[in-house]
Amino acid sequence: MTSFRNAWAVLTGAVLLLGAGPVAAAEVPVDSPQEWTQYRLTPEKNPVIETDGSVVPAADGFRLPDEVRATPVVVGDRLYVGTHGSGTLHAFDLATGEQLWQAQAPNWIHSEMLVSEGTVYVGYGDRGQEREDGLRGDGPGGVLALDAETGEQKWEYTVDAHVMPTPVLHDGRIHAATGDRHLHVIDAATGEGLERVDVGAVMSMSAPAAADGMLYAGAFAGGPRVVGYDMDAREMVWTTAMPDVRSGLDDVPPAVSEGVVVTTSHRDIVPAERLEHWAHAFSADTGELLWEVHLGDGPFVPNNKSGAPAVADGVMYVGSPTTRMLYALDLRTGEELWSHDSGPIKAPPVVVDGHVVYTTTQGEIGAVDTGTGALAGSRQLSDEPLAPAGPIVVDDVLLVPGQDGMVHTLALDDLTGGSGAEETPAAGTDDVGDDAAAGADGPEDAAPVGGGVLGPAVAGLLAIGLLGALAVLLVRRRRKPATR
């Protein structure tokens, strides 16, 4: 009987270990950042911030006069964020929610407000329609520099197109991806234009990722492609054409980790009716396509078609507005580890404390287990879509931008605390209105929210573990008792 118990222990251990899939905790948190220099703070796009705990984000959140489409930026004891539509720029006291200053941009704000050495940098512009000259942006576009303490303007750099993507600040230079098919390199101190790098295609909302002196972005109109630019050498290192892509590549801010750049795109099944959603990985050094995975099919997605990734510990986490699922993919191989029936997701998730936290275009926030995709908890934050920029974490508090004009705050434990947390059905029994001229997210039909489904890799490992444990049981039961 003892040998049976031992075998059963091995079997149970195999189930617990292998059934959980890869151990995928969050990347190392950023310790009290004193600057914010690229989209979502880190190359992995996983903004988890640890502080000394002396400043707790305001419990009632932060109210703004218009929609928020950008990630809230937290540096020190301040929160910085701008608004879509009205183009207002704001600085808040993180602890009290008090507005410290408000400034005005000439057009929409989708860009994050970068902060470094007492200066705020932010791009502005509208999507508009593709113009006869092949560029994007109907109204004013450019980059502003403001005094971080007062909001007073220091300089303005204008572009004959939009600057909707968040720029990158590197070595005293702003790198702005734009709707005029160029990467603009700007002196951060003076606002002087230093260089216009020809990318050859429009970068609509693909905020570049930066790592080890390299910048990576996706572009579409002019020929779909992903590019790698050396910010130190100031030269384009590689360009990888993506001829099968029909949309979305220029909407997705890529993520980069362990020498791999990941992004997503769409292909047409029936133009303007049905799409395929694909995930792609490239060598950060050469641009070689390492793998691409068909995530699934779904109805046409109006406006921003992004499914933006985040990476933590060798796993790419990405949601889809097309398939209305959240996926975990092996960074090196693209193997699906699990998927979760989340509802439509455009924003990158955030990975923290063994959970993947995601937001939907139906106003819902949810958290699933990093290893299995099992739902830990969800709730309805708003009747409006949550922002396509995604949540961040400050200590144990989630900061969630919304198109309802709020940056919501929510204790992480309130979302994930305790096993068997009841799930909240996804919103969407009523359609969310679409205003193409204003750039609003299109209507998304409700989809039931379910649990995680283990991918073939994890299922295979689980089967091997079970067989191994059963083999141990059989061998031990065949052995004769030792002679005493």
Q: What is the pLDDT of residues 443-457, one digit of tens each?
A: 333 333 445 665 554
Nearest-CA neighbor of 305 among 375, 391, 423, 220? 220
Asked if pLDDT for residue 192 goes beyond 90, the answer is yes
Q: For the chain, what is the mean pLDDT?
A: 85
Kind of pairing between the strands at 193-198 and 182-187: antiparallel
- Rounded to whole angstroms, the Cα distance separating 257 from 28 reads 13
In a domain, 305, yes or no: yes
Indicate whether 2 pLDDT > 60. no
> Taking CA 335 as the corner, what is the angle to CA 333 and CA 337, rounded to the nearest 5 degrees?
135
Is the pLDDT reported for residue 22 higher than 90?
A: no
Distances (CA, A) of 213 to 24, 166, 171, 216, 233: 27, 17, 9, 10, 9
**pTM given for the model:** 0.84
Q: What is the mean pLDDT of residues 95-119?
A: 98
CB 26 within 8 Å of CB 312: yes
Predicted pLDDT of residue 451:
55
Residue at 471 is within a domain: yes
Q: Is 362 within 8 Å of 446 (Cβ atoms)?
A: yes
pLDDT given at position 27? 57
Q: Tell me which of 103-107, 238-242, 419-423 is least confident.
A: 419-423
Q: Which of 98-112, 238-252, 259-273, 422-436 has the lowest mean pLDDT?
A: 422-436
Model pLDDT, residue 299: 93
**More confidently predicted of 205 and 211:** 211
pLDDT tens by residue, 277-308: 999 999 999 999 999 999 999 999 887 888 99
CA-CA distance, 206 to 224, in Å (whole number)? 12
What is the C-alpha to C-alpha distance for residues 17 and 3, in angstroms, rounded to an integer? Answer: 21
C-alpha 100/C-alpha 125 separation (Å) is 24
Confirm whether 484 is domain-assigned.
no
User: Does 444 map to a domain?
Assistant: yes
Q: What pLDDT is stored for residue 134 in this prediction?
A: 75
Residue with tokens 């911030």: 49
| Alpha-carbon gap, residue 200 to 254, rounded angstroms | 18
How confident is the model over 308-347, as pLDDT tens digits?
A: 999 999 999 999 999 999 999 999 999 999 999 999 999 9
Number of independent structural domains in the chain: 1
pLDDT, tens digit (0-9, with 9 covering 90-100), for 82-93: 999 899 999 999
Q: What is the pLDDT of residue 130?
A: 67
> How high is the pLDDT of residue 306?
82
Q: What percent of the chain has pLDDT over 90?
A: 75
Long-range contacts of 427-430 (CB under 8 A, 24+ apart): 427/360, 427/362, 427/363, 427/364, 427/380, 427/383, 428/343, 428/362
- The one-letter amino acid at 10: V
pLDDT digits (tens, 9 = 90+) for 349-395: 999 999 999 999 999 999 999 999 999 999 999 999 999 999 999 99
Q: Would you state the structure tokens that stand for residue 314, as one six-digit string?
A: 């060798």
pLDDT at 455: 58
Q: Which residue has the higher pLDDT, 99 or 9?
A: 99
Identity at 36, one-letter amino acid code = W
Mean pLDDT of 116-130: 91
Mean pLDDT score, 154-158: 98
Phi, psi dihedrals of residue 7, rounded to the nearest 5°: -60, -40
State the pLDDT confidence band at 136, using cuts at 50, 70 and 90: confident
Residue 134, domain member (yes or no):
yes
Return d(Cα 239, Cα 281) in angstroms, integer: 14
Beta strands of 373-471 (E only): which ranges?
375-380, 392-394, 397-401, 406-411, 452-454
Using N-to-C axis directions, what is the helix angle for 2-19 and 456-478, rounded to 10°? 170
Let me know: does 363 contact 386? Beta carbons within 8 Å.
yes
CA 192/CA 195 separation, integer angstroms = 9
Q: What is residue 84's predicted lDDT score, i.e. its pLDDT?
A: 95
Choice between 419 and 160, residue whose per-residue pLDDT is larger? 160
Radius of gyration of the chain (CA): 23
CATH (domain of 56): 2.130.10.10
Q: Which domain holds residue 161?
A: 2-478
Quick one: average pLDDT of 121-125?
Answer: 98
Which has more pLDDT, 125 or 26? 125
